[in-house]
Structure 1
């Protein structure tokens, strides 16, 4: 689980970097959408971690707020 979340977090950053280097709006958006999908993947993993009691409700609330902010920022990049 930890490994998967780390890979998804790295995917967010790497897709942002790769997308920002693309000249075409369509290509940029594709990478930003992939990054946004990785944020959703982290959120899903967090729910499982809560179910398994690896996270507390307080932890999941803070993490959820941060993930929502990331999702929102990425959504604003996609145009």
Structure 2
């Protein structure tokens, strides 16, 4: 592996960001300083921290960055659920995002475990 771009978890998290950015376009205008930027920020953090951790070239640092990624992923999942609870988006609109998010979560868990061994 020559780059973080070769990591499937990074590739899938990039797809997740794209889907989330498309989804938040439907959020109400009055959320432009509230939930909307929070959702986008936590989504961007996922592939960004995967890349940054990979660049550290030290397993413990990398594992720590991946734990931060997992936290950002959980934060994003929660924010999207809040948007559903507030009726800003429909639960059905999250189907693909939820599936991809769970897939990224499983990949992160596996990679963290491997690095910590």
Q: What does the per-residue CA deviation read over 1:13-70, in whole Å, with 9 as the maximum and x for residues that have no partner?
A: 1110111112221110000110111110010001101101111121133322121111
Q: CA RMSD, aligned part only? A: 1.1
Q: What is the CA-CA distance between 1:71 and the residue it aligns to? A: 0.7
Q: d(CA) in 2 for partners of 1:6 and 1:57?
A: 18
TM-score, normalisation: structure 1: 0.90
The answer to whether the aligner puts 1:77 opposite 2:114 as a matched pair is no
Regions of 4+ moved over 3 Å = none
Of residues 26, 37, 42, the one that matches 1:8 is 42
Q: d(CA) in 2 for partners of 1:10 and 1:63?
A: 14
Equivalent positions of 1:1-79 (< 5 A) are 1-78=35-112, 79=114
Which of the two has higher C-alpha Rg?
Answer: 2
Gaps of 5+ in 1: none
Q: Aligned residues, how many?
A: 79
Gaps of 5+ in 2: 1-34
